[in-house]
């Protein structure tokens, strides 16, 4: 029943204790939308988001308090529900700054240099309508109805100015951001989020998550970059793999989640350790080794993903996987790790099918709106 303030130094929904449910949405601005439309949209979204995160309707007249002869401001399905730890995090995609060479909103010169479309990676087969978007909204809550209500109402507020491009529901967080949270499991049955950046690690957040004052541009200082990847997991194939091989692939035990070099869940992996069979205790191509900072120039990211199941496909296999979300000081950190994962043993069991990269502005001051600095 926690209430997270919408205003503050950083946007909520990054270091916030990871909630149980996600509704992530990407939006495209309307072809004829102007700079003033974009500013007004961000103001209206910030106003509504500040209210919804407090457990209130989108406006004072809300779902039932307005004229009975007009459609209500709020769609109503969250009436009576508590705030449910709702956070709403807003980001800007590369195309917001420039699309097909056109500077639609007079902000091309203020695009962060690091905000460019991600390069193509091995093992991806991206669906255009699950990729990109001028704007993104990450709504996380402990009640899925509250997260869906948030995205639905923000879409409605955007009507005529921006339209939903794609969206994704997620359940069952696959990360943790506080020591108090138990490490959850992903759909391969392994603990996910063991070696994550946590909310109380101020040094790691400064070095790896928040855009610094000297990183540029000024309007993004205190913000971050969000990378989203929809990763379809080949569940049925994985389920036919013997346990020892599953563990070799990940580099950790399935039960406790300890590194295969020995020790409990939080033991440091020892990549030099040789097993009694004379081979590396942790396989050189295991996921954990290739993703580890030691093999990526020290790069670390804050992971905040969710499991998803979109029903099943025509072959009767689960259309399921991981909706991977990470926050980092620069997309370069994600790119570095993702490139290193090109030879990941785990890669045989999943395909990246959706993708997005967004600059996430710092939090709005009370009475202001997310992204105000970009238009100052
Ligand atoms: C660690 C699963 C995709 C980056 C882990 C762990 C598991 C896991 C089980 C070990 C526990 C932990 O420390 O959290 C998966 C699955 C994926 C996936 C099932 C896809 C379906 C990715 C991607 C990236 C990534 C796309 C980034 C490009 C990391 C990092 C670690 C990690 C940085 C921590 C490594 C360390 O410092 O020890 N992942 N992962 N993972 N994963 Fe993934």
At 290-345, the pLDDT tens digits run: 999 999 999 999 999 999 999 999 999 999 999 999 999 999 999 999 999 999 99
219: number of Cβ within 10 Å = 20
Cβ(323) to ligand 1 under 6 A?
no
Query: Which residue out of 303, 305, 331, 352 has the highest number of ligand 1 atoms within 8 Å of its CB and is therefore the one to mutate?
Result: 303
Q: Which of 152, 192, 172 is nearest to 320 (CA)?
A: 172
At 123-177, the pLDDT tens digits run: 899 999 899 999 999 999 999 999 999 999 999 999 999 999 999 999 999 999 9
Which pLDDT band holds residue 218 (cuts at 50, 70, 90)? very high
| Ligand 1 centroid distance, CA of 289 (Å) | 10
Cα separation, 176 vs 142, in Å, equals: 14
Q: What share of residues in the chain are helix, strand, coil (percent, to 5)?
A: 25, 25, 50
From atom 1 of ligand 1, which residue's Cα is the shortest distance away?
A: 288
Token code pair at residue 122: 């091995």
From atom 15 of ligand 1, which residue's Cα is the shortest distance away?
A: 192
* Cα separation values, 214 from 136, 218, 329, Å: 25, 8, 12
Q: Which of 54, 306, 8 is nearest to 184 (CA)?
A: 306
Token code pair at residue 128: 């255009």
At 23-48, the pLDDT tens digits run: 999 999 999 999 999 999 999 999 99
124: number of Cβ within 10 Å = 16
Cβ(197) to ligand 1 under 6 A?
no
The three-state secondary structure class of 197 is coil
CA-based angle 169:209:198, to the nearest 5? 75
Please say if the pLDDT value at position 243 is more than 80.
Answer: yes
Which residues have C-beta within 8 Å of that of residue 349, sequence separation ≥ 6?
Answer: 188, 233, 234, 237, 238, 241, 249
Please say if the pLDDT value at position 1 is more than 70.
Answer: no
Cα separation, 251 vs 294, in Å, equals: 15
* Cα separation values, 45 from 32, 86, 99, 101, 258, Å: 19, 14, 23, 27, 43
Mean pLDDT over 79-93 rounds to 98
| Claim: this prediction has a pTM higher than 0.90 | yes
Q: Which of 194, 183, 171 is nearest to 322 (CA)?
A: 171
173: number of Cβ within 10 Å = 25
- Outline where DSSP puts E strands in 266-371: 302-303, 306-312, 318-328, 350-360
From atom 26 of ligand 1, which residue's Cα is the shortest distance away?
A: 338
Token code pair at residue 352: 């990246």
For all residues of the chain together, what is the average pLDDT? Answer: 97
**Type and span of the H or E element at 169:** strand 162-173
From atom 24 of ligand 1, which residue's Cα is the shortest distance away?
A: 338
Token code pair at residue 322: 């991981």
Cβ(304) to ligand 1 under 6 A?
no
Please say if the pLDDT value at position 222 is more than 90.
Answer: yes
Q: Which atom of ligand 1 is nearest to the CA of 251?
A: 10
| Ligand 1 centroid distance, CA of 366 (Å) | 36
Cβ(350) to ligand 1 under 6 A?
yes
Token code pair at residue 72: 């209500």
Please say if the pLDDT value at position 55 is more than 90.
Answer: yes
| Ligand 1 centroid distance, CA of 280 (Å) | 20
| Ligand 1 centroid distance, CA of 97 (Å) | 31
Cβ(173) to ligand 1 under 6 A?
no
Cβ(193) to ligand 1 under 6 A?
yes
| Ligand 1 centroid distance, CA of 134 (Å) | 27
Cβ(233) to ligand 1 under 6 A?
yes
Q: Which atom of ligand 1 is nearest to the CA of 334?
A: 28
Cα separation, 371 vs 93, in Å, equals: 13
Cα separation, 263 vs 269, in Å, equals: 9
| Ligand 1 centroid distance, CA of 174 (Å) | 10
Cα separation, 142 vs 132, in Å, equals: 26
Mean pLDDT over 214-243 rounds to 98
At 264-279, the pLDDT tens digits run: 999 999 999 999 899 9
Half-sphere exposure of 223 (CA within 13 A, CB side): 28
| Ligand 1 centroid distance, CA of 332 (Å) | 17
Token code pair at residue 22: 């996600």
- What is the interface pTM, i.e. ipTM, of the complex? 0.98
Cβ(191) to ligand 1 under 6 A?
yes
Determine the distance from the C-alpha atom of residue 295 to the mean position of all C-alpha atoms in its chain, rounded to a whole number. Answer: 23
């Amino acid at each position: 029943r926690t209430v997270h303030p919408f205003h503050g130094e950083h946007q909520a929904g990054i270091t916030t204790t990871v909630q149980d449910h996600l509704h992530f949405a990407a939006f495209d601005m309307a072809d004829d939308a102007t700079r003033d439309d974009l500013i007004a949209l961000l103001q209206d979204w910030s106003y509504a988001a500040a209210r919804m995160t407090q457990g209130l309707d989108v406006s004072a007249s809300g779902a039932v308090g307005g004229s009975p002869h007009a459609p209500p401001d709020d769609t109503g399905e969250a009436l009576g529900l508590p705030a449910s730890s709702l956070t709403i995090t807003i980001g800007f995609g590369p195309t917001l700054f420039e699309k097909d060479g056109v500077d639609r909103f007079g902000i091309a010169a203020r695009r962060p240099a690091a905000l460019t479309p991600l390069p193509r990676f091995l093992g991806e087969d991206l669906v255009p309508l699950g990729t990109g978007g001028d704007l993104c909204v990450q709504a996380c809550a402990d009640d899925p109805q509250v997260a869906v209500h948030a995205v639905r109402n923000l879409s409605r507020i955007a009507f005529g100015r921006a339209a939903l491009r794609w969206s994704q529901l997620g359940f069952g967080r696959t990360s943790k951001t506080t020591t108090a949270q138990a490490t959850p499991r992903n759909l391969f049955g392994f603990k996910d989020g063991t070696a994550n950046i946590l909310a109380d690690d101020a040094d790691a957040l400064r070095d790896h998550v928040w855009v610094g004052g000297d990183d540029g541009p000024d309007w993004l200082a205190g913000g971050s970059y969000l990378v989203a990847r929809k990763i379809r997991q080949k569940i049925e194939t994985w389920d036919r793999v013997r346990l020892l091989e599953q563990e070799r692939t990940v580099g950790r035990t399935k039960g406790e989640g300890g590194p295969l070099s020995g020790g409990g869940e939080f033991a440091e992996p020892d990549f030099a350790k040789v097993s009694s069979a004379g081979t590396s205790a942790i396989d050189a191509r295991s996921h954990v080794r290739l993703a580890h900072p030691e093999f990526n120039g020290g790069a670390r990211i804050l992971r905040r993903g969710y499991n998803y199941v979109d029903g099943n496909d025509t072959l009767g296999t689960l259309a399921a996987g991981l909706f991977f979300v990470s926050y980092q000081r620069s997309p370069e950190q994600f790119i570095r790790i993702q490139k290193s994962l090109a030879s990941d043993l785990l890669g045989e069991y999943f395909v990246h099918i959706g993708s997005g990269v967004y600059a996430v502005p710092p939090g709005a001051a009370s009475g202001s709106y997310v992204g105000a600095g970009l238009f100052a």
